[in-house]
């Protein structure tokens, strides 16, 4: 299978989303392989103007299957909102959007941590989006993360407990640590962020697993980075 990779070589805003939207017309699959919803792609087409952060921007091509890879960190609330937005605009993603069960979840406490880290740095703050991207990647590489497959299984609660215990051990003894633990404890009582007054279901809002066989027969795929 031929793969066309679209990778930015600057600090963003190179037009990757528009390029992928154009190239997807001749592809079977379009994949987002890394990053999170701190990145945004603006696509303008016959359906309207869309600012999407997680769903691959090539999803507008009717015969293309969208893939969110294991290197992507996923905020469930943002993903559900984008799916609702696309379906409402007439871009039917049912059966065309797949999420890797190995992708990691951004939990509410990751956003809290992101903000606390920034505040602690004072004048030397990084200037993050405070969407939890850094903390969730830190959890991923330290084996304390929660994967999409955990969210849809009985392992979710045990993973929350493990993650909370690890943070408690790392932050015990300081005032900021105690504050962090209180906020994390409150956030972890919820299985996930609420969207439009409802909690996300125990299982993913769409399929997660191996992608179906190509349908267009072109044998091409497009992959886009953060």
pLDDT at 215 over 60: no
CA distances from 54 to 76, 77, 187, 189 (A): 10, 11, 23, 25
What sign for the dihedral angle of Cα 79, 81, 85, 88? positive
Would you please indicate which residues are annotated as catalytic (active-site) residues?
13, 41
Q: What is the arithmetic mean of pLDDT over 25-51?
A: 90
> What is the per-residue pLDDT for 184?
56
Q: In this predicted structure, which of 87-91, 94-98, 166-170 has the lowest mean pLDDT?
A: 166-170
Domain range annotation of the chain: 2-103+200-224, 106-188
* pLDDT above 70 coverage of the chain, percent: 75
Per the CB < 8 A criterion, the answer to whether 157 and 209 are in contact is no
Q: State the residue for tokens 């990751």.
A: 110
CATH code, 106-188: 1.10.300.10
What sign for the dihedral angle of Cα 33, 39, 45, 49? positive
pLDDT at 205 over 70: no
Q: What is the arithmetic mean of pLDDT over 150-162?
A: 84
Residue 48 CB neighbours (<10 A) = 11
> What is the per-residue pLDDT for 169?
78
Q: In this predicted structure, which of 175-184, 194-203, 212-221 has the lowest mean pLDDT?
A: 194-203
Mean pLDDT: which of 27-31, 187-191, 198-202, 206-210 is highest? 27-31
Q: Quick one: pLDDT band at residue 204, thresholds 50, 70, 90? A: very low
CATH of 2-103+200-224, one of 3.40.440.10, 3.40.109.10, 3.40.1390.10, 1.20.120.80: 3.40.440.10
Token duo for residue 142:
């330290």
Q: Quick one: pLDDT band at residue 183, thresholds 50, 70, 90? A: low
CA 226, CA 212: separation in Å to the nearest integer? 24
Instruction: Give the ranges where 56-212 is alpha helix by DSSP (H).
Output: 76-88, 108-121, 133-141, 148-151, 156-171, 175-188
Q: In this predicted structure, which of 25-34, 89-98, 180-189 has the lowest mean pLDDT?
A: 180-189
Closest C-alpha among 129, 182, 189 to residue 161: 189
Shared fold status for 2-103+200-224 and 106-188: no
In a 3-state reduction of DSSP, which class is residue 58? helix
Q: Quick one: pLDDT band at residue 106, thresholds 50, 70, 90? A: very high
pLDDT at 44 over 50: yes
pTM score of the predicted model: 0.74
């Amino acid at each position: 299978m031929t793969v066309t990779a679209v990778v930015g070589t600057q600090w963003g805003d190179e037009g990757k989303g528009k390029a992928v939207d154009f190239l997807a017309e001749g592809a079977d699959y379009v994949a987002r392989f890394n990053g999170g919803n701190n990145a945004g792609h603006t696509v303008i087409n016959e359906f309207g103007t869309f600012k999407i952060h997680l769903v691959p921007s090539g999803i507008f091509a009717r015969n293309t299957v969208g893939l969110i890879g294991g290197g992507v960190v996923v905020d469930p609330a943002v993903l559900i909102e984008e799916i609702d937005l696309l379906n409402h605009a007439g871009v039917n993603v049912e059966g065309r959007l797949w999420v890797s069960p190995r992708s990691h979840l951004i939990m509410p406490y990751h956003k809290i941590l992101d903000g606390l880290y920034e505040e602690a740095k004072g004048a030397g703050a990084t200037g993050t989006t405070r969407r939890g991207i850094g903390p969730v990647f830190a959890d991923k590489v330290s084996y304390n993360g929660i994967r999409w497959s955990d969210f849809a299984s009985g392992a979710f609660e045990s993973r929350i407990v493990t993650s909370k215990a690890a943070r408690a051990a790392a932050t015990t003894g300081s005032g900021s640590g105690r504050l962090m633990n209180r906020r994390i404890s409150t956030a972890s009582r919820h299985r996930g962020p609420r969207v439009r007054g409802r909690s996300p279901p125990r299982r993913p809002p769409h399929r997660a697993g191996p992608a179906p066989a190509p349908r267009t027969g072109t044998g091409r795929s497009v992959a886009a980075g953060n």
